[in-house]
Amino acid sequence: MISLMRTKTAPEIYVTVEDKKLGMTGFLVVESTEVGPGKGGMRMTSNVTIGEVERLADTMTWKNSLFELPFGGAKSGIVWNGGSDGLKEQFVRSFARKIKEYIPSKYVAGPDVNSGEKEMVWIADELKRWDSSTGKPSDYCETKDGKKFCGLPHELGSTGFGVAIAVETTAKLLNLDPTATTVGIHGFGNVGTFAAKHLCERGYKIVLLAGSKEATYRPGGFKASEIQDVIDKKQTLNDLPGKKLSQEKFWSTPVDVLIPASVTNVINETNFETIQSRLIVEGGNIPMTVPIEEQLHRRGKVIVPDFVANGGGIISSYAELQGLSPDQMFKLVEEKISRTTNEVMTKSIANSHYSRDVAIKLAKANLAKQLG
């Protein structure tokens, strides 16, 4: 039984798997399957550890409960040092075989860092189960009980769209005028690009963008059409003209809204004191430790926690398993993100309460209702 008195839950599944012949090492943490299978993405990075996967699974527990989805919290990871697409496919298929006893009854995979629709197809194909993963291509379908189910790829941008809705919802609570509100985004992958695109379309002024190595600053703002070109042509941040800044300078550049949408702990002891933004919306999972987040809160920063702001991906996963269309999915994401963000941030701002505590309290209440 999940303890509703604790922020942290004891994992139900906590495993490390290896394929020594291939050199593959992977991790899976599932915190609970009481309300449904564990749901969370599969990340592939060179430094992923089971400790990181456990932290992410914990976040997923509260994210799923917060949005009242029938999933337990889970996450998986593969140590990936880079290589050919063929080698990557071997790693993913090997990992899928190693954890097949848990899929899909205990765990359903999804996209994360360095994994997207093709990796999700490799998992589903290897296990011969359409429902073993979500975020699959839109033409990867199956018919069940007379109903057609198709993939809703991560590449549709549901997470970034949800982040934009979280920004918009909180900005209204702070009485911020979109056209006068500057935004900086760290991370120009799937989440960052789509968040930038949708915020541009809503009138916000995106002036600062950063990838893994450098940042680009344009005081006049980037255009939605430019960002759409980056998405369509699979370009990089270097393709956007503007003043180039160092990573260090990115964090100290004044913007009204800061969106960390890249890797774990990107905001840390080296940079958090230089942040000038009033509003921080956490597009990426665990962009900072709780102690640093608490310090920023005490300094008057308004922070939308990761598992509130970036719930679009997991809501899309639910929509995929329900057989919803892309339009139906985006409508559901907007409804759930706006309602939940409004509830959490209204209470946090009105009472100067730490937003993560407010969100976890709401998630616990939702979980209690789900458990009856």
Q: Are residues 206 and 115 in the same domain?
A: no
Q: Are residues 129 and 213 in the same domain?
A: no
Q: Are residues 317 and 245 in the same domain?
A: yes
State the 10-residue block means of pLDDT for the chain, 372 residues long. 40 96 97 93 95 91 93 97 97 98 98 93 98 97 95 94 98 97 94 95 96 90 89 82 93 97 93 97 94 97 96 97 97 98 97 95 91 78
- Provide the β-strand partners of residue 257: 183, 279
Within a domain: 101: yes
* Range of the structural domain that residue 281 is part of: 158-368
Q: Are residues 221 and 103 in the same domain?
A: no
Rounded-to-integer distance, Cα 133 and Cα 149, Å: 13
Within a domain: 228: yes
Within a domain: 269: yes
Q: Are residues 113 and 212 in the same domain?
A: no
Check residue 9 and give its pLDDT.
52
Q: Are residues 127 and 232 in the same domain?
A: no
Check residue 250 and give its pLDDT.
96
Please count the structural domains in the chain. Answer: 2
Query: What is the four-CA torsion angle of 49, 159, 97, 35, rounded to 10 degrees?
Result: 90
pTM of the predicted protein model: 0.91
Q: Are residues 267 and 219 in the same domain?
A: yes
Residue 324, helix vs strand vs coil = coil
Within a domain: 209: yes
CATH code where residue 177 lies = 3.40.50.720
Q: What are phi and psi of 148, to 5 degrees?
A: -90, 130
Within a domain: 214: yes
CATH code where residue 79 lies = 3.40.50.10860
189 alpha-carbon distance from chain centroid: 11
Q: Are residues 209 and 325 in the same domain?
A: yes
Rounded to whole angstroms, the maximal C-alpha distance in the chain is: 58
